[in-house]
Amino acid sequence: MPTPSIAELHRPGAASNVLADSAPAAAMPPPPGFARLRSCIGLPQVSEVDVVRHFTRLSQESHGVDNGPYPLGSCTMKYNPKRNDELARLPGFACAHPMQDADTLGGVWEMYERLQAMVCEITGMDACCLAPAAGAQGEFAGLLMIRRHFARFGVHRPVVLVPDSAHGTNPASAAMAGFACRIVPSDAKGRVDRQLLRAMLTPEVAAFMLTNPSTLGLFEDQIVEIADAVHANGSLLYYDGANLNALMGIVRPGDMGFDLVHVNVHKTFSTPHGGGGPGAGPVAVKAALAQYLPGPVVVRRSGLAQPDGDRPLSIGRIKAFHGHVGVLLRAYGYLRTMGARGLRQASENAVLNANYLQHRLAPMLPPVYAQLCKHETLLSGAKLKTSVRQFAKRLIDYGIHPPTLVGAGCVYFPGDLKSAMLIEPTETETKASLDCQVDIFQRIFNEDAMDETLDGGARLGRKMARIDGN
Ligand SMILES: *Cc1c(COP(=O)(O)O)cnc(C)c1O
């Protein structure tokens, strides 16, 4: 049964008992120009307990990683430790005002300087700005830096290449930054088609934007050759580091040959971000591009962290004030808690979990590319009688958020892929939780095979069983 609206709960005469206002509004005349309404405005009449139940029920209709698995491929919906939220509420940070004098924000600059260094260490870059508000804004900042770099030397390079497996923000950011975008096709193994790439690397090309492992969960094993080809053409190699969940402490974009990168701290480094909540998309670059970084870039001078005021070649500010301090503080807390070894283990577990799910789900949803995956796996819906869409709706009935869907009416994906799901379990799901998810997938697959109507509207209220045994 769909949840009724508050208007449908209306019962004439039902009421809630609220203590009367000690200063009755009626005694005060309305301000000049305003008329007081004398008649009833038609608010629904509902008893107090029904009002409370109604809004509590609505709050439970919203799915987050705190009430069930959220295997949304590419987006890294991992569990976010609550201690990082507590850090973000520390009054020294939460009450700092962005218009305070910069020299009264010492704690913020200290945290920024350390976090910049951590982002550089993890990505293999030399300099970093934390200010961009999200991944897409980090891309935009990166592309503006690329533009400035070529403009500075009077070189006209109006084209950016992106692979067909790229996240949709890549071509959008390139267009916003004034570039024409050309799409590089994938080969049969889901990798960049290197022969086609070589043919597309013309003197017009400013940069190639790439994610590795790609949004298909596959590692580009010829990345060094690709980087060499891009650089031999005088172009730059941009790394879309929105999701670093497969490679923390294992391999670094800077060592693969990338020149600049953005990172979604709200995906990999702890911040609840479903539904478009605030995030942060730091950009990090090799030394040759450092002078173009947007502000603030925090430097340490005579032991004191402070924003660098002398950066004439900077592309300028990309975000009001200093960026999302609370989100960056969560990332700092996460990184300090995990440490280098912990980060590596998180990535290893994320990859292990994805391969475990890929293996166990294969009889129902075979992987599109039959090989080991990285942090996520693309599963084919070819065996389904209904559709991946109906399948995903049914998952919601069981308390699992739908994976990223590919196919008619769903997100765009490369090539002629008709129907698939991109699943990213993340490292924070236990084996017991993964097994429980596989059981649910199996039940839905059986329903589908029996040609039962997978009607997502029919809520059976069967939620994923609580998982015992850690
Ligand atoms: C999420 C994502 C982005 C965009 O990040 P936002 O913070 O949503 O702007 C870019 N690229 C990839 C691969 C992503 O997964």
Per-domain boundaries in the chain:
7-61, 82-338, 340-469
Q: With contact defined as beta carbons under 8 Å apart, do 360 and 339 qualify?
A: no
Q: Please provide the distance, in angstroms rounded to a whole number, between the alpha carbons at the two ends of the chain.
A: 33
Q: Of the residues 70, 77, 167, 220, which should be mutated to test ligand 1's pocket, given the most ligand atoms within 8 Å of the CB? A: 167
SS3 379: strand
The finding on whether 167 has its CB within 6 A of some atom of ligand 1 is yes
The secondary structure element, H or E, covering residue 326 is: helix 325-361
* Residue 68, pLDDT above cutoff 80: yes
Q: Span 254-268, mean pLDDT?
A: 97
Name the pLDDT band for 35 (thresholds 50, 70, 90). confident
pLDDT at 416: 59
- In CATH, the number for domain 82-338 is 3.40.640.10
Q: Which two tokens stand for residue 213?
A: 């492992």
Q: What's the Rg (C-alpha) of the chain?
A: 26
Identity of the amino acid at 292: Y
More confident site: 397 or 412: 397
**pLDDT tier for residue 40 given thresholds of 50, 70 and 90:** confident
Rounded distance from Cα 349 to ligand 1 centre (Å): 22
**Angle at which helices 325-361 and 106-123 cross, to 10°:** 30
Q: Which atom of ligand 1 is nearest to the CA of 137?
A: 9
pLDDT tens, residue by residue, 73-98 = 999 999 999 999 999 999 999 999 98
Indicate the top mutation candidate among 215, 261, 264 to test ligand 1's pocket, ranked by most ligand atoms within 8 A of CB: 264
CA atoms of 376 and 406, how far apart (whole Å):
14
pTM, entire model: 0.87
pLDDT of 242 above 90: yes
Residue 411: what are its φ and ψ, rounded to 5°?
-70, 160
| Ligand 1 contacts CB of residue 134 (under 6 A) | yes
- The pLDDT, as a whole number, for residue 98 is 87
Pairwise CA distance, residues 356 & 354, whole Å: 5
What is the Å distance from ligand 1's center to 388 Cα?
Answer: 23
Regarding the beta carbon of 77 and ligand 1, being less than 6 Å apart is answered no
Element (H, E) at 205: strand 205-210
Q: Minimal CA–CA distance to 161: which of 195, 119, 206?
A: 206
Does the CB atom of residue 244 touch ligand 1 within 6 A?
no
pLDDT at position 469: 33
Nearest CA residue ID for atom 14, ligand 1: 242
Rounded (10°) CA dihedral 13, 14, 17, 21? -50
Strand partners, 49: none
pLDDT exceeds 60 at position 293: yes
pLDDT band at residue 32 using 50, 70 and 90 as cut-offs: confident
Contacts of 356 (CB under 8 A, 6+ apart): 425, 431, 434
| Upper half-sphere CA count for residue 7 (Cβ side, 13 Å) | 3
Distance 440 CA to ligand 1 centre (A): 28
For 261-282, the three-class secondary structure string (H helix, E strand, C coil) is EEECHHHHCCCCCHHHCCCCCC
CATH number of 340-469: 3.90.1150.10
Query: What is the Å distance from ligand 1's center to 36 Cα?
Result: 50
Collect all residues with Cβ–Cβ distance below 8 Å to 369 and sequence separation of at least 6.
Answer: 189, 190, 216, 218, 378
Q: Is 246 in the pocket of ligand 1 (CB under 6 A)?
A: no
- pLDDT tops 80 at residue 18: no
